[in-house]
Structure 1
Amino acid sequence: MKMKDLLLFLSYVLWGSADALHTDIHVVGCSYIHGGVMFGLDREELWYADFEKQMDVYPQPPFVQPISFGDGAYKIAVANLYGCRQFLQLSETAMKDFPPRRDAPSGVMIYTRNEVELRAKNTLVCHVTGFYPAPVKVSWTKNGQITTGGSSINNPYPNKNGTFTQIARLQFIPQQGDVYSCTVEHLGLTKPLIKIYNVDTPETPEKHKPSLGPAVFCGLGVIIGVLCAAGGTFFILKANKCI
């Protein structure tokens, strides 16, 4: 993807008080193939348009009361995408001489959302940041085999330095010995980045029985100290002819 093939609009709104400062963000991005419209608050994605399923999505956890953007939010997103592509077409001539910018991801991490318990549902997270342009492609494997069930990825989220962050997730059930990997592909990479996660048996602290070893050493130390003190007293008194 060349630089001219991607157009991204960012709208930041800052509001605050004496105690807090919040950042509200509205992202509209497009190419001739892909597109994304997203609303966020304080680096949390609140809403985005899924143009493949033709619906709006609230990605917050179920225990968080979502902020509604209204029934017409998806239709507005479609209009934003159309306008973005129109502007992209007009800007092609002006940007044709610009060299493409390609920043490879500066950080890729894989971790679990919750503490691992064997045979208990969990989520693997592949966190990719520091890349430009967006998006990245993330794929998953389990024991060397490609797996797609229960996988998802959020829209690219802009960083303050002009790069992007994306988070991919995979629902899984940990089983002892399983090996998972997330593979990241991007225009700035000469080869894919791969991060591995091994499912190990959770360690259970052993209950140790009381040991006599330290007590014996302490007892011997006290006895030797007393004997040494007694011997020293004897020789001091003898030197003074007290005995």
Structure 2
Amino acid sequence: MKMKELLLFLSCVLSVSADGQHSDIAITGCSDSYGEDVYTLGGEELAYTDFNKKEEIYPQPPFVDPMTYPGEYERAVGRQQICKGNPQKSRKGMKDFPLERDAPSAVMIYTRDEVEFGVQNTLICHVTGFYPAPVNVSWTKNKEKVTGSSINVPYLNKDGTFTQISRLDFTPQLGDVYSCKVEHPALTEPATKFYEVDSSARSDPGVGPSVFCGVGLTLGLVGVAVGTFFLIKGNECS
């Protein structure tokens, strides 16, 4: 991983499955003003430390067996003390190396679920490919700032850049326009993406039923052809 800014990340693969599909990764990161401590499984967050709330957060869905790490907040605080000393040594050894920055390579806005008017949903603003972390994400509704959004802890991509996801709960109403504005030091101006609730957002059967109907029709035609074949052969034998 290339050295950038004063941010030092220590990551270790705790375990890898036999087929290579999943890995547990622990990441500890820090800078002069920022700290991160997170556990991931296959790229998904299992737990992260919120140093503002002074607690360990477990953003796991309710349908899985919960995984917890007792005493992890205290251990994360200790790792931060070690981590914050390392940039000072690196800075001295590299004579305060120049800052490198990567602007986000992609910003996307989409809904968590299929949209139905009047039914609560979640807008997701997905930001990836940036360095250093974090980004700042703000939301508007019909050009007015809105509050109540959330954003996850930045997690490391394989190429050394980061990904962050911001979420905003909303109730779709025809004509509403939402936006997420992304700010990062490498951007000369904020990157803004828009989502408009229009008539096409109404819930419809989607592609799933069409696919099933197409498959059913195909199988039905095959069945008819096979039945006809055996009927003809049976007549020839008689």
Mapped partners of 2:4, 2:203: distance in 1: 52
How big is the alpha-carbon RMSD for the aligned residues of Structure 1 and Structure 2?
1.8
Other structure's SS at 1:114 match: coil
Mapped partners of 2:28, 2:110: distance in 1: 29
Corresponding position of 2:69: 69
Corresponding position of 2:141: 142
**Counterparts of residues 77-96 of structure 1 (less than 5 Å):** 77-96=76-95
Mapped partners of 1:109, 1:75: distance in 2: 36
Instruction: Report the CA distance shift for 1:96/1:136 in structure 2 as closer, same or farther (over 3 A).
Output: farther
Q: Structure 1 residue 12 and structure 2 residue 10: aligned?
A: no
Q: Work out the number of aligned pairs and report it.
A: 201
Mapped partners of 1:11, 1:34: distance in 2: 20
Other structure's SS at 2:160 match: coil
Q: 1:4·1:96 contact (CA, 8 Å) conserved in 2?
A: no
Corresponding position of 1:27: 27
Bigger Rg, structure 1 or 2: 1
- Give how far 1:87 is off: 1.7
Other structure's SS at 2:173 match: coil
The amino acid of 2:123's aligned partner reads L
Deviations along 1:191-232, one digit per CA (max 9) or x if unpaired, are: 110000011233477xxxxxxxxxxxxxxxxxxxxxxxxxxx
Instruction: Report the CA distance shift for 1:130/1:108 in structure 2 as closer, same or farther (over 3 A).
Output: same
Instruction: Report the CA distance shift for 1:8/1:199 in structure 2 as closer, same or farther (over 3 A).
Output: same
Mapped partners of 2:159, 2:5: distance in 1: 20
Please, which moves more after superposition, 84-93 or 126-135?
Answer: 84-93
Q: 2:116·2:203 contact (CA, 8 Å) conserved in 1?
A: no
Q: Identity of paired residues, percent?
A: 54
- Give how far 1:14 is off: 4.5
- Give how far 1:135 is off: 1.1
TM-score, with length taken from structure 2? 0.79
The amino acid of 2:133's aligned partner reads A
Gaps of 5+ in 2: 205-238
The one of 152, 155, 158 equivalent to 1:157 is: 155
Gaps of 5+ in 1: 206-243
Corresponding position of 1:38: 38
Deviations along 1:14-42, one digit per CA (max 9) or x if unpaired, are: 4222x453211111111222111000010
Q: 1:4·1:92 contact (CA, 8 Å) conserved in 2?
A: no
The amino acid of 1:82's aligned partner reads Q
The amino acid of 2:95's aligned partner reads K
